[in-house]
Structure 1
Amino acid sequence: MTIQGAIKAALLPLAVCLAAPVSAFTACQITDTGGIDDNSFNQTAWRGVLEAQTAMGIDARFLESQAETDYEANITSLLGGECDIIFTIGFLLGDATQEAAAANPDQLFSIVDFAYDPPLDNVLGQVYATDEAAFMAGYLAAGMTETGIVGTFGGINIPPVTIFMDGFAYGIDYYNAQHGTDVTLLGWSPDTREGLFTNNFESLDDGRAFAQNLYDEGADIILPVAGPVGLGSAALANELGVEELMIIGVDADLYETDPERGHVYLTSIVKRMDATVFQVIERVMAGSFEGGVIVGTLANGGVDLASFHDFEGTVPEDLVAELTALRAGIIDGTVAVGPN
């Protein structure tokens, strides 16, 4: 389901409220194959569970998926009433989650990066308009490149990945239109839907190799949309030096989650999965859970562009001002996040 479809689904009437139990509360999470400490979406979602554990005294459990074949088995192992809410993390768990939810209507689920149309009574989807923040990142990259060439690659060609790449591409196009420049993007075409993909979310070696190829073609800023794979790109930038190559992170603020190489990140396109996971837990505990979808946007803080950190003094003041105006334009609708 596309992000546009998810937003449409969010406007549909939601299912009837399912009451939460009044006894001890347990939130359970099933990761995608990147693992719980992937410095990316699995870890960010788990942080929301841990924050709820601290704030509300809940119990927390997780199971890691080593391969896609683990999804169904992991979900099945958590059924039986011990989990008040089961979080499944990632688009690829969409089918397994739907099957389990249909077979277990009394079990509450929430899935990150997926939404069902029509909604399921016992599943709350969490999706994110990451193209909004990625649009800003593309504009920033176009304003910061010295070579006039920037690059991107993805993990797998699925909507939660390509939405980053779309926004990034359109942000570059918008910068070119505003400034009369001709910054080129390598690795993705929103028109043909073709680009570079490692076909996994685990291999740091692939992240390094893909970044090396883009660098060799002239890119001095690269956006890896591949979870932990991007850490391999950051390792290359660390060796080359930021004068040669800068990285834009995704999902979490990688300056903070990858501190050994934090200085290579110009910024990160942040998905606040921790905030939406926390919100879902609050709803279940309050007895106000409803099937449907939560959409994170720039306006509600569900997505954002992270601080420039070590590049604070490097990004020109004029460009910072343009980005501030761009954010306001995206939020109020005067700037379209799409083809220009």
Structure 2
Amino acid sequence: MRTVRGKRMAAIGVTGAVALFVAACGEAPDSANEGGDAVAKDFKACMVTDTGGVEDRSFNASAWQGMNAAVEAEPAVEVHVKESGSEADYETNLTGFINEGCDLIVAVGGLMGEALTTVAADYPDQRFAIVDAYLPDSPNVFSMEFNTAQSSFLAGYLAAGHSKTGKVATYGGLKIPPVTIFMDGFAEGVAYYNETKDADVEVLGWNPETQNGSFADSFEDSGKGKSLTENFVSQGADIIFPVAGKTGMGTPTVTQGDDALDSIWVDLDGCESAAEYCEEFLTTSEKNIPDAVSEAILAARDGGPTDGHTVGTLENGGVSLSTLREDIDPELAAEIETVKEAIISGDIEIKSEVQPVAS
């Protein structure tokens, strides 16, 4: 057990949406949050998860939180979910919800882009939305993207400044842009720390120049996440940044056994989504999926445009670092706030080529 940790210090650009972690992130119901019995339901919002399901404590869980937040904001909304066991389930789940009369169908994850493009073309009168992809040629799809290179740049700077061994590491679930954008930002943040501090902190697991690195090839295999983490630790890394959904849960199981090791979580504040490991996380590189999904549902219910494109950034609160752990040096925390403002102003330019651009 760690002897110091468990309390958190002032937040660096924390979004309010993650304060409430919906209990429904447990077993996924066939239909959720019926709301008050006296409230007539007039809008049916349905969500198709990527693999990992609503219990992944990461991007699926955060989208499900957003679905339920829409019900909290407007009890006339009802929400339903179908979980994808594999990529082969995407089209089946999407069309299944069409047949069930959903007013809006939310696809979670960039991997679903191809399947949704096909289904949206076949059903042009059906409203859809997608998280982590932009489908400009689908006029009935509302797209939500997040520039997590920005928040992950801050996470990389933090890791470099907090590391005692001079080695930090990252790995991904799959080699796809919504994953590698985190890894790019993290590596660039470490490089910026090295440049400004005349340091030589090394990043294991990802090379942003060659776009090669370590991947579990799964968002569901925590055993593989544990194995990758143990390998990085054997090479001297003391801070690990998994970008791998449920696979990433293998990392805090390793760091929990050694006070010299730490991790940084992604997507949804680890101290909310994986509270039993809160002391292991220095912070979380968050993307505010809950607010984006909730707002998309409410806008669709109000008859808003069927298409559209939003990009979450540090400036608009769509991405952020969660509250920093109590033992982070206050001087380092202040530097991170300065770096954040420099990213927003454009004084620091992040190079990742997979950053989304607002249309």
Tell me, yes or no, whether TM beats 0.5.
yes
Shift of 1:282: 1.7
Name the residue aligned to 2:129: 110
Write the distance in 1 (CA, Å) between the matches of 2:215 and 2:313. 26
Name the residue aligned to 1:179: 197
Shift of 1:338: 2.6
Partner AA of 1:331 in structure 2: I
Write the distance in 1 (CA, Å) between the matches of 2:231 and 2:334. 33
Name the residue aligned to 2:79: 60
Q: Work out which of the residue numbers 326, 329, 335 in structure 2 matches 1:322.
A: 335
Shift of 1:23: 7.6
**1:151 equivalent in alignment to 2:164:** no
Out of 79-88 and 201-210, give the one that drifted further. Answer: 79-88
**1:30 equivalent in alignment to 2:45:** no
- Conserved in 2, the CA contact under 8 Å of 1:119 and 1:292? no
- Conserved in 2, the CA contact under 8 Å of 1:119 and 1:291? no
Q: Work out which of the residue numbers 272, 276, 282 in structure 2 matches 1:260.
A: 276
**1:44 equivalent in alignment to 2:57:** no
SS in 2 for 1:115: coil
Write the distance in 1 (CA, Å) between the matches of 2:205 and 2:96. 39
Name the residue aligned to 1:9: none
Partner AA of 1:112 in structure 2: V
Write the distance in 2 (CA, Å) between the matches of 1:32 and 1:23. 27
Shift of 1:37: 1.5
Partner AA of 2:51 in structure 1: T
Write the distance in 1 (CA, Å) between the matches of 2:85 and 2:100. 24
Deviations 1:2-46 (A, max 9, x none): xxxxxxxxxxxxxxxxxxxx9810100000111112100001001
Write the distance in 1 (CA, Å) between the matches of 2:42 and 2:330. 52
- Conserved in 2, the CA contact under 8 Å of 1:115 and 1:292? no
Shift of 1:265: 0.4
Q: Work out which of the residue numbers 99, 104, 115 in structure 1 matches 2:118.
A: 99
Write the distance in 1 (CA, Å) between the matches of 2:253 and 2:98. 40
Write the distance in 2 (CA, Å) between the matches of 1:245 and 1:122. 46
Shift of 1:79: 1.0
**1:239 equivalent in alignment to 2:257:** yes
Name the residue aligned to 2:207: 189
SS in 2 for 1:69: helix
SS in 2 for 1:198: coil
Deviations 1:130-160 (A, max 9, x none): 0000000000000000000000000000000
Where has structure 1 moved over 6 Å in runs of 4 or more? Answer: none
Write the distance in 1 (CA, Å) between the matches of 2:41 and 2:228. 50
- The sequence identity of aligned pairs, in percent, is 41
Write the distance in 2 (CA, Å) between the matches of 1:282 and 1:212. 44
Shift of 1:96: 0.7
Out of 204-213 and 253-262, give the one that drifted further. Answer: 253-262
Out of 321-330 and 76-85, give the one that drifted further. Answer: 76-85
- Conserved in 2, the CA contact under 8 Å of 1:120 and 1:292? no
SS in 2 for 1:202: coil
Write the distance in 2 (CA, Å) between the matches of 1:138 and 1:272. 19
| RMSD (CA atoms) | 1.3
Q: Work out which of the residue numbers 339, 346, 350 in structure 2 matches 1:333.
A: 346
**1:167 equivalent in alignment to 2:180:** no
Q: Which runs of 5+ in 2 are unaligned?
A: 1-39, 353-359
Write the distance in 2 (CA, Å) between the matches of 1:173 and 1:290. 41
Q: How does 1:185-224 map to 2 (within 5 A)?
A: 185-224=203-242
- Conserved in 1, the CA contact under 8 Å of 2:46 and 2:102? yes
Partner AA of 1:327 in structure 2: K
Aligned residue-pair number:
312
